[in-house]
Amino acid sequence: MKINKILVFAIAIVFLVSINFAVAVDENATHAVSEVDDNAVELQDAPQNSVADDSEDMISQDTSNDPEPVQTIKMGKVTKRYNGAIEYQATFYDANGNPLKNTEVYFEVDDSTDYSAVTDSNGVALLTILINNGNHKIAAFCTDPVGINYDNIKVFDVLRGNKNINMYYEGGNTYKVRVFDDNGQPAKAGKKVTFAIGKKVAYRYTDKNGYAQIKIHSTPGIYEIGAKYQNFIVKNYLTVKQVIKPLTSFKDRAIKSKIKFKVKLLGKNNKNKVIKVKFNKKTYKAKTNKKGIAKFYLKTPKKVGVYKVITSYKKTKVTSVYSKYYA
């Protein structure tokens, strides 16, 4: 592990320096003793309490004004939660207490997995990792200056219950999330939740059980859908399927005064729905029967040519083509 290797290296350097210093002191002491001759003046007996008095003075010295050691790493908190991932923030400082800018630093999670990151202009480094819910230990480490700090975090989903949605247009589906507070309990009523469907943004509020939801009215297509509470975000995919299915292919081009055109409306609750058809500059309307089918009798155009048949239901539409080859 990166952190353990660097710590062992630092300890080894300190150990070697200590040995060299001890050897140097021993050699100097030997030379000093050898220079003492027989004519050296004997020390007078020191007062019995002199040593004790000096010790008491040393012990009683006031250390309250001694400078506190600089903490080079300030552990932060989980700032964001994603689906299965978190973002953890820590701030790094140099030996003088200034932000450690644009420097590579390291993290270790649960004493097993190592990660690296680079601090920004404020000394802040972000660790983004995939992690399971539960209790975890994070260590942050820098090498210049050498420093290490630890934190214990509890990982849980602040936003839950979200899932991908596959639906028909106007199917009445909702996108729902449940919000939890910092203690992992359902949030109280009235908490603001931001929903985004594609580029559209809307706000909803939690109920007494912590749920917030939004009804989906998007036209057919594939969208990214998500919810945000404070700094916590979840994202999913929304697939809205087309409900209009033309049942007439216009293969029969016999000369008739009217063209029979049938349309089926897919999905649930498709009875008595108004369908519109625009053909040759005229608009036709019909309601679906109990099977969701609407029938139209379109007046045959007089001129030869290619004509669009535009079928619409609310904000969605489908275009078919009718070709007339002879008058």
pLDDT in tens, 79-95: 877 767 888 999 999 99
Tracing tokens 């003793």 back to the chain, one arrives at: 33
Shared domain for 167 and 150, answered yes or no, is no
Shared domain for 174 and 235, answered yes or no, is yes
- pLDDT number for residue 59: 41
126 within a domain of the structure (yes/no): yes
Shared domain for 192 and 135, answered yes or no, is no
Mark which of 241, 274, 303 sits at the end of a domain.
241
Mark which of 101, 123, 155 sits at the end of a domain.
155
- pLDDT number for residue 255: 62
Shared domain for 194 and 217, answered yes or no, is yes
Give dist(CA 220, CA 243) in Å, integer. 8
Beta strands 165-168 and 232-241, pairing class: parallel
Q: Name 74's Cβ contacts closer than 8 Å, sequence gap at least 6.
A: 90, 91, 92, 93, 149
Mark which of 90, 125, 155 sits at the end of a domain.
155
User: At 234, which CATH number?
Assistant: 2.60.40.10
- pLDDT number for residue 93: 95
- pLDDT number for residue 60: 45
Shared domain for 165 and 234, answered yes or no, is yes
How many other C-beta atoms can be found within 10 angstroms of the C-beta atom of residue 106? Answer: 20
- pLDDT number for residue 40: 39
Shared domain for 234 and 270, answered yes or no, is no
Shared domain for 248 and 230, answered yes or no, is no
44 within a domain of the structure (yes/no): no
* Residues with pLDDT less than 70, the chain: 1-70, 83, 251-255, 327
24 within a domain of the structure (yes/no): no
132 within a domain of the structure (yes/no): yes
Give dist(CA 186, CA 158) in Å, integer. 9
Q: Could you give the number of structural domains in the chain?
A: 3
221 within a domain of the structure (yes/no): yes
Q: What are phi and psi of 185, to 5 degrees?
A: -100, 150
Q: Check residue 210 and give left, alpha or beta (phi > 0: left; psi -120 to 50: alpha).
A: left
Strands (E), 209-304: 211-215, 221-229, 232-241, 244-246, 258-265, 274-279, 282-287, 293-299
What totals of helices (H) and strands (E) does the chain contain, helices first? 2, 22
3 within a domain of the structure (yes/no): no
Shared domain for 210 and 278, answered yes or no, is no
Domain containing residue 291: 244-324
CA dist 102 → 77, 91, 95 (Å) = 20, 12, 15
- pLDDT number for residue 242: 96
Shared domain for 89 and 131, answered yes or no, is yes
Query: Cα 235 to the chain's mean position, in Å?
Result: 9
Instruction: Tell me: cis bond preceding 145? Omega within 30 of 0 counts.
Output: yes
Shared domain for 320 and 250, answered yes or no, is yes
Shared domain for 254 and 210, answered yes or no, is no
- pLDDT number for residue 39: 44
14 within a domain of the structure (yes/no): no
Which pTM value belongs to this model?
Answer: 0.60
Q: Name 242's Cβ contacts closer than 8 Å, sequence gap at least 6.
A: 168, 169, 220, 266, 316, 318
Q: Are 141 and 3 in contact (CB under 8 A)?
A: yes
49 within a domain of the structure (yes/no): no
Query: Whole-number mean pLDDT of the chain?
Result: 82
Shared domain for 235 and 251, answered yes or no, is no
